[in-house]
Amino acid sequence: MALNIALIGYGKMGREIEAVAEQRGHRIAARVGREGMEAHDWTGVDVAIEFTQPDAAFANVEALLAQGIPTVCGTTGWFARVPELDCSQTPLVYASNFSLGVNIAFQVNRYLAELMAPHSDYRAEIEEIHHTAKKDAPSGTAITLAEGILAANPALNGWALQPGVPDNALPIHAVRKDPVPGTHTVTYDSAVDQLSLTHVAHSRAGFALGAVLAAERIGALSSGSHTFASLLFPPAR
């Protein structure tokens, strides 16, 4: 079914989402840039896709949910505030990364962490590389990878950004370099060998496709907040 989609944030990512959405037969009902949401008419909007900045995302999503508009949010750096939102009447789908490949990597990362946890001679660390326009560091994707490792390894006491990481913490190294869309590597290093899991994004197209897929599926969800991973990998019944 064709959807009327509102794009909140009309920069490079917004334009990429627009291209993918139109290729899949959807209509862009609103394109919200620096003029803000108040300048637009929301009549007939089926779903909103929000990709802006961490300091703007909460207010944007809150306003959309208040109007009863199902919302897909890919802005990172604010997810600790998701529980503050009223999603009791309208569904929200959010993710640190909407790439299908990254979400598969999340699943593999958790399984790999379970396998590696008993082997204390391996030191885990994460490196993430992004373009210089990215505001948050570490990336939301790196934090999700870290959470998967920490859940499986009680010997690690949280994560910390390099440099100056305590011995019992998981190091994350954040690099900003143009024109990299996003590269994430989890490494386990020991005195005898090294094992790595890497995802390399070649463009923003993968993120855009995932966001549009979430928009297509959100209408079947119950109210409340949902992760994109829960749509892709629902629990076995």
Q: In 10 A of CB 228, how many CB atoms?
A: 26
Tell me whether domains 4-94+204-232 and 100-201 share a fold: no
130: annotated active-site residue: yes
Return d(Cα 85, Cα 72) in angstroms, integer.
Answer: 14
CATH superfamily of 4-94+204-232: NAD(P)-binding Rossmann-like Domain (3.40.50.720)
What ranges do the domains of the chain cover? Answer: 4-94+204-232, 100-201
134: annotated active-site residue: yes
Active-site residue, selected from the candidate residues 26, 119, 130, 226: 130
CATH label, 100-201, candidates 3.40.50.1580, 1.10.3720.10, 3.30.360.10, 3.40.640.10 = 3.30.360.10
Model pTM score: 0.84
Q: Regarding beta strands 182-189 and 194-201, do their DSSP bridges make them parallel or antiparallel, or are they unpaired?
A: antiparallel
Answer whether residue 71 shows pLDDT above 70. Answer: yes
35-67 per-position pLDDT tens digit: 888 888 899 999 999 999 999 999 999 999 999
CB 74, CB 95: distance < 8 Å: yes
Summary mean pLDDT of the chain: 94
User: Which has the higher per-residue pLDDT, 231 or 48?
Assistant: 48
- Burial class of residue 54, CB neighbours in 10 A (0-12, 13-18, 19+): middle
Answer whether residue 170 shows pLDDT above 70. Answer: yes
Q: What is the pLDDT of residue 207?
A: 92
Which residue is associated with the tokens 């490079």?
A: 12
The model's confidence at residue 236, banded by pLDDT at 50, 70 and 90, is: low
Report CA-CA distances (Å) from 15 to 10, 33, 153, 199. Answer: 6, 11, 40, 23
Active-site residue, selected from the candidate residues 12, 26, 119, 134: 134
112-155 per-position pLDDT tens digit: 999 999 999 999 999 999 999 888 899 989 999 999 999 999 99
